A and B are shown apart, each in its own frame.
Chain A
Amino acid sequence: ETGVTQSPTHLIKTRGQQVTLRCSSQSGHNTVSWYQQALGQGPQFIFQYYREEENGRGNFPPRFSGLQFPNYSSELNVNALELDDSALYLCASSLLASGKYEQYFGPGTRLTVT
Chain B
Amino acid sequence: AQSVTQPDIHITVSEGASLELRCNYSYGATPYLFWYVQSPGQGLQLLLKYFSGDTLVQGIKGFEAEFKRSQSSFNLRKPSVHWSDAAEYFCAVGQQDMRFGAGTRLTVKP
Indicate with 1 or 0, residue by residue over A34-57, a CB within 8 angstroms of chain B CB atoms: 010000111111001000000110
Kindly list the 10 A-B residue pairs having the minimum CB-CB distance in the complex, ordered from nearest: A42-B100, A105-B43, A105-B44, A107-B43, A45-B97, A101-B95, A56-B96, A43-B100, A56-B97, A48-B96
Number of interface residues of B (CB under 8 A): 24
**Residue numbers in B under 8 Å from A92 (CB-CB):** 44
> Known contacts A42-B100, A43-B100: does B43 contact A102 (CB below 8 Å)?
no
Instruction: Knowing that A41-B102, A42-B103 touch, tell me 10 more A-B residue pairs with CB under 8 angstroms.
Output: A33-B96, A33-B98, A42-B4, A43-B98, A102-B34, A103-B46, A104-B46, A106-B43, A107-B43, A110-B41
Question: For chain A, which range describes its interface: under 10, 10 to 19, 20 to 34, or 35 or more residues?
Answer: 20 to 34
Of the candidates A33, A48, A56, A90, the one whose C-beta lies within 8 Å of that of B43 is: A90
Which residues of B are at the interface with A, using a C-beta cutoff of 8 A? Answer: 4, 32, 34, 36, 41-46, 49, 51, 90, 92, 94-103
Which residues of A are at the interface with B, using a C-beta cutoff of 8 A? Answer: 4, 6, 31, 33, 35, 40-45, 48, 55-56, 58, 90, 92, 96, 99-108, 110
13 examples of A-B residue contacts, CB within 8 angstroms: A41-B103, A42-B101, A42-B102, A43-B44, A44-B100, A45-B99, A55-B96, A56-B96, A58-B97, A101-B32, A101-B94, A102-B49, A107-B43
**Residue numbers in B under 8 Å from A102 (CB-CB):** 34, 46, 49
